Amino acid sequence: MPRGIALSGREARWLALAAQRLGRARPRGPIVRRHLGTTVEALGILQVDAINVLERTQFVVLFSRVGAFEMQQLHAMTGPGGELFEYWAHAAALMPVSRQPLLRWKMAQASPYGDSPVHAARWRAWRDAHADYIDTILAEVRERGPLSASRLSDPRRRDGQWWARRSIGRMALEWLFVHGELAAWRTPSFERVYDLPERVL
């Protein structure tokens, strides 16, 4: 068995900073997609977060590594034919498209979120109760092309408190997304757009 390497606290801190690409000089000149792509590749994943105090997390993380860049570049990298794709790692995250096959095992699970068996059973029951509608949504995306939940012909909106109003259409799109039957990217307003994986990746 190989022996471990002894590190001082300072060396360990420097290694952690280097692994996160925080201990290096920022690129000189204009920041282009290549800079963003190599940074995400080195980090492994780039968490996507809806919370926006200063700016959304995915932009702050990249800014801290490469400096100022046009945010539209990241949006362009995540749409059809882009270098990155969104999926659930430990949370919603952008990853290099080359890593998508590594997550197919997770897409095949009954509940890819890593839920408890009870919650996974609820998701299966929900899927069984809405199977025909979910198939209709998949057919609509196949026929019409990229769609957000707001553009579905029958989104099946629900009444209720704000935390329980997610439409059945959006839930169906999310089901198809987490199970790998649809891929998705986000608009600048953070709305998810869904399409068939072969037209996105």
188's tokens: 């600048």
Q: List pLDDT tens digits, range 20-47.
A: 888 888 999 999 999 999 999 999 999 9
Residue 163 has pLDDT above 70, yes or no: no
Give the predicted TM-score (pTM) of the model: 0.86
Residue 58 has pLDDT above 90, yes or no: yes
* CA atoms of 114 and 90, how far apart (whole Å): 9
One domain, residues 88 and 113? no
The pLDDT of residue 158 is 65
The answer for residues whose C-beta is within 8 angstroms of residue 79's C-beta and 6 or more apart is 185, 193, 200
Longest Cα–Cα distance of the chain, Å, equals 62
56's tokens: 């959304």
One domain, residues 90 and 125? no
Residue 162 has pLDDT above 80, yes or no: no
Q: Domain range holding 128?
A: 109-201
- Who has greater pLDDT, 53 or 146? 146
pLDDT band (50, 70, 90) for residue 159: low
Q: List pLDDT tens digits, range 69-105.
A: 999 999 999 989 999 999 988 889 999 999 999 999 9
Which of 54, 82, 107 finishes a domain?
Answer: 107
Residue 55 has pLDDT above 70, yes or no: yes
One domain, residues 151 and 173? yes
Which of 85, 107, 129 finishes a domain?
Answer: 107
One domain, residues 173 and 117? yes
Sheet with strand 92-96: strands edge to edge? 46-47, 92-96, 84-88
Q: Is 179 helix (H, G, I), strand (E, B) or coil?
A: coil
Residue 164 has pLDDT above 90, yes or no: no
One domain, residues 130 and 73? no
One domain, residues 33 and 127? no
